[in-house]
Amino acid sequence: MRFLINGQPVEVDVDMRTSLLDLLRDHLNLHGSKKGCNQGACGACTVLADGERILSCLALAVQYQGREITTIEGIAEDGQMHPLQRAFIEHDGFQCGYCTPGQICSAIGMAAEAKRGMPSHMTRDLGAEFITLDRHEVRERMSGNICRCGAYNGIVNAISEVFVEAE
């Protein structure tokens, strides 16, 4: 199978039943994406496919050939941390860090969804062309990413610093 992962073409011979998460972790040594529940309930495995957030534990790798996959290892640019990575550090957005790669990938995908006008349960104007994020939107839209350490205040602060306009 052929993939494009963090901008690099990759060719690998794996079982057709391999999940995208197992492909990343077990076959490509990209251990940033975490296996929390392996059943779509925790968000620790979140990666971006063409900029959209997906749960890689529920994705069959074979279906993602030809898509651009970005993992936490590909978020930084030119050796510079992504602003969200910096904000997580500044705001203590983690404790053990297990959920963090998924939180960061998810938040980037989440902000793109809002930009495209995809409403959430908290959105008042369902017809808006794009949605301006506030903390309520952030909390709702990030609710699929569980943090067992309960670092939620720091997580919301970090994401808000980067994606929420003046409150």
Cβ proximity of 31 and 23 under 8 Å? no
Query: Is 69 near ligand FES (CB under 6 A)?
Result: no
CB of 126 to ligand FES, least distance (A): 27
3-state secondary structure of 155: helix
Query: Is 18 near ligand FES (CB under 6 A)?
Result: no
**Stretch (H or E) spanning 157:** helix 152-163
Cα–Cα distance list, 29 to 80, 103, 123, 130, 162 (Å): 22, 20, 39, 37, 29
Q: What are phi and psi of 58, to 5 degrees?
A: -100, 0
Distance CA 30, CA 15 (A): 18
Which of residues 112 and 152 has its CB atom nearest to ligand FES in the complex?
152
Q: 96 to 155, contacts with ligand FES by CB under 6 A?
A: 96-100, 147-149, 151
Which of residues 96 and 128 has its CB atom nearest to ligand FES in the complex?
96
CB of 160 to ligand FES, least distance (A): 17
Segment interacting with ligand FES, rule: CB under 6 A, options 71-79, 92-100, 104-112, 131-139: 92-100
Which of residues 40 and 51 has its CB atom nearest to ligand FES in the complex?
40
Distance CA 129, CA 119 (A): 10
In the sheet with 52-55, reading across from the earlier edge strand, the strands are: 8-11, 2-5, 68-70, 46-49, 52-55
Which of residues 61 and 99 has its CB atom nearest to ligand FES in the complex?
99
Query: Is 61 near ligand FES (CB under 6 A)?
Result: no
In the list 41, 76, 89, 118, the residue contacting ligand FES (rule: CB under 6 A) is 41
Instruction: Give strand ranges (E) for 15-145.
Output: 46-49, 52-55, 68-70
Query: Is 89 near ligand FES (CB under 6 A)?
Result: no
Residues that bind ligand FES (CB under 6 A): 35-38, 40-45, 55, 57, 94-100, 147-149, 151
